[in-house]
A and B are shown apart, each in its own frame.
Chain A
Amino acid sequence: MTDNMSVAVSSPLVDRGHRPPAVPPGAPAVERHRRRSRIRATVEAYVLLAPSLAGLALFLVAPIVGVVVISFFDWNLMGAPHFVGLANYREMMGDSEVWRAMRNTTYYVVLNIPAQTVLALLLALAMNRKLRGGKAFRVLFVLPWMAMPVALGIVWSWAFDPQHGVVNQFLALFGVDGPAWLSSTTWAMPVLASVNIWQYTGYTMLFLLAGLQAIPESLYEAADMDGAGPVLRFFRITLPLLRPSMFFVLVTNTIGSFQMFDTVYVMTQGGPGGSTDTMNYHIYQQAFQLFRTGYASALAMLLFAVILLVTAVQVLYFRKRTVYDFS
């Protein structure tokens, strides 16, 4: 398929910035002037970059370095920190609660990502048709993403209340006796996942929709002429051409899911029976309820390592595949 279509092929990770044409050799005076203006341009660029670089250093680099350093200390934020070497990391290895939190987090990601991506893709496909009032729908689907997660958590807690919640009252209409959702070790995590799926599907849909709209109509016309049906067109044209958007959506959503915190904090506080104690909630608990900042920092390093690994696997998967680009 690639052979007879003139499309640019590149990896999503390679910067395709347009480089300026090489400077032809000129007279020495002109050259000197050029060099001076180039230095001036560099200075200017750095001055213009200064605010964001300062912000980056202050709010990103410094805290990250701080976490790495603190992870080798025992520190309750109040007294003097004690250097403990690798003790926090050793404790982490034998801490069954940490591994439970890791399992819970993985379970959440597995519940969340596939469902959210498939739903968002279906929505995007539906939205991609020229519908009357399509834009209004788009806004409607993105609304949950714009709302405050804490407020949503509270509202959903009410909805899942075993006696007075709308969910069980709705189920009762069909004679179904709904469980006590958030008190159940079986149901609590799926409930959290469904709240997050509901919240972020619209947002994911926007990216996939943008990707869909970038696919040239001519490809579908050509496929029509070749007699390809809708299923074939989806799997042979839409899905492969959606890879850049898919890549972005999967990588960012997976990272976000591993870091899930606010919904747990509001709806379950890690319970019942630790069944929704995710890594980020556990880190919060160690750092801001028990004030074991050193240990919490070591846990943050573990979570970072896991996310890095998963992201690397995703990058490798997508790199192996051809990515079509029409821009």
Chain B
Amino acid sequence: MSATSRRVLAATATSALLLCLTTACGSSGSETSSSGGTVTLRYAIWDAVQQPALQKSIDVFEQQHPKIKVKIELNAWAQYWSKLQTQMAGRTAPDVFWDHVAYFPQFAQQNVLTDLTPYIKADKLDTSIYDPKLLAGWQQDGKQYGLPKDWDTIAQVYNKTMLEKAGLTQSELGGLSWNTTDGGTFVKALQKLTVDANGKHPNEKGFDSKQVKQYGLALGSSNGQTDWWDAAAQNGCKLQDKAWGKWTIDQPSCVEAIQFVRDLRLKYHVAVPASVTNTPNGASLPQVMARKQAAVVWDGSWDLNAYQSSMKGNFGIAELPGGPVGKGTVYNGLSNALYAGGKHPKEAWELVKWLGSEESQKIIVSEGSVWPGIPTLNKDYVAVWKQRGVDVSGFSKEAEGTTIGYPLTTSSATYSVKVQDAFNQVWLGQQSPKAAADSVNEASNAAIK
């Protein structure tokens, strides 16, 4: 072999290796793997607070199914949907993933979800154990695209010590109301809970709004679920005219509610400034509470374990205040969905079935993680928190009252992108509620398919 041909050979080998490295061998890392009869499923979630409880349930599932392994893939809410949809486009989405009403309609349209009906029939699964409202939320055209994982509402989480110091009780806090003229009893209570460096309250002379030591309230949300949507529900505002219809957040009842939430910060000075709580850099609500910056927050039941880990039982739950029209909260739930492009649909169905089972939801409930999709377990959830010294019945009382759900629409992605920036500006006082509502409404309606 001459020197030249040896060199040519070496070069060819190198280029072949490089080609392999760059093409075929590049994508194996993210795919579902199966070796020696064991199948590894990928399960995507977005909430780190719920992961420990979920892992306990998965551990039991793996014991019962020795040939199936489950790998949880955690991606924060802000990146979750972008990543999931890109993976779907590349046909490499996780086998099972948390689904949300905001994105469900679009996924059902795009045929990326598996219809569970045949599986349910084959396994004679009893779906009457689920809350009918939750089960129906994951249906479209007679098909079932997920099993209920949980439900949630928004309530007031408060610091027990701070509430006592202000001379308020849980039932008082849960019985407040607000109006658009003077803020009502809700603002009065928050004034008691807000203190500046000299011990003065916002309704007293000499109060320094730049030197506030403790705020009455903290609000924060990237889309409205834990702040102005609830105020909107309390003011009779509807986010859309009908299911699958147009967005209507530019209506006066909605704009008034947005104005009130803005006033809590900028007019009454009883809520933590937006520069602290605005996404993406802002502190999360549990962080604000852990830092003792606020006495009360409006937050969802899914965050309870976050408060428990930092406040160790020194917190309580009260219902949201009533507004001009009455009480109201956002009611929502998640499901576990089965990806239609997965390589192991049978094993993935086993996982979905397990996560929807009473046995698994009991484990989740016993960890105090989230309210279950199976209503008979609600009392167990209350009992777990009672043992920890927290009365969580505020969430379930609200669920029985007036609630609004996530808008059913195909333009959630556009809404999410527009609303965060526009409403951040409103809370900072740099844009009027009307202008922000108009611009978000227009852009979201234009994106309806």
Contacts and interface: CB of A to CB of B under 8 A. Distances in A.
Interface of A: 40, 43-44, 47-48, 50-51, 54-55, 58-59, 77-79, 157, 161-163, 177, 180, 182-183, 185, 267-274, 285, 288-291
Given A44-B7, A291-B85, 12 more contacts: A47-B8, A47-B11, A50-B11, A50-B15, A51-B18, A54-B19, A162-B276, A180-B275, A270-B421, A271-B420, A289-B416, A289-B417
B303 to A, nearest CB: 21
A47 B110 contact: no
Nearest to B273: A180
Interface of B: 4, 7-8, 11-12, 14-15, 18-19, 22-23, 81-82, 85-86, 88-89, 110, 112, 210, 273-276, 278-281, 413-414, 416-417, 420-421, 424-425, 428, 430-431, 447
Nearest to B18: A51
Contacts of A43: 8
Contacts of A47: 8, 11-12, 15
B279 to A, nearest CB: 8
Instruction: Return the 3 tightest CB-CB contacts between A and B, nearest first.
Output: A180-B275, A77-B89, A51-B15
Contact of B15 (A54, A59, A78, A272): A54
Contact of B82 (A48, A274, A289): A289
Contacts of B22: 54-55, 58-59
Contacts of B81: 289
Contacts of A182: 281
5 contacts: A47-B8, A47-B11, A162-B276, A290-B447, A291-B89
Given A183-B275, A289-B413, A79 B82 contact: no
A40 B110 contact: no
A271 B421 contact: yes
B62 to A, nearest CB: 32
A290 to B, nearest CB: 5
A267 B281 contact: yes
Contacts of B430: 185, 272-273
Contacts of B414: 290
Contacts of B23: 58
A55 B14 CA distance: 13
Contacts of A44: 4, 7-8, 11
Given A77-B89, A183-B278, A290 B19 contact: no
A289 B22 CA distance: 27
B409 to A, nearest CB: 14
B424 A48 contact: no
A182 B275 CA distance: 8
A81 B122 CA distance: 37
Contacts of A273: 421, 424-425, 430-431
A269 B7 CA distance: 51
A35 B296 CA distance: 87
Nearest to A97: B443
B385 to A, nearest CB: 31
Contacts of A157: 281
B280 A269 contact: yes
Nearest to A75: B89
A179 to B, nearest CB: 9
A271 B11 CA distance: 50
Contact of A78 (B82, B110, B210): B110
Given A54-B19, A78-B88, A267-B281, A272 B424 contact: yes
A173 to B, nearest CB: 18
Contacts of B14: 51
Nearest to A54: B19
Given A44-B4, A289-B413, A163 B276 contact: yes
A78 B103 CA distance: 14
Given A272-B428, A273-B431, A161 B281 contact: yes
Contacts of B431: 273
B89 A268 contact: no
A11 to B, nearest CB: 34
A15 to B, nearest CB: 24
Contacts of A272: 278, 421, 424-425, 428, 430
Given A77-B85, A289-B82, A162 B275 contact: yes
Nearest to A266: B280
B420 A288 contact: no
A54 B81 CA distance: 33
A96 B279 CA distance: 24
Contacts of B89: 77-78, 291
A172 to B, nearest CB: 13
Contacts of B425: 271-273
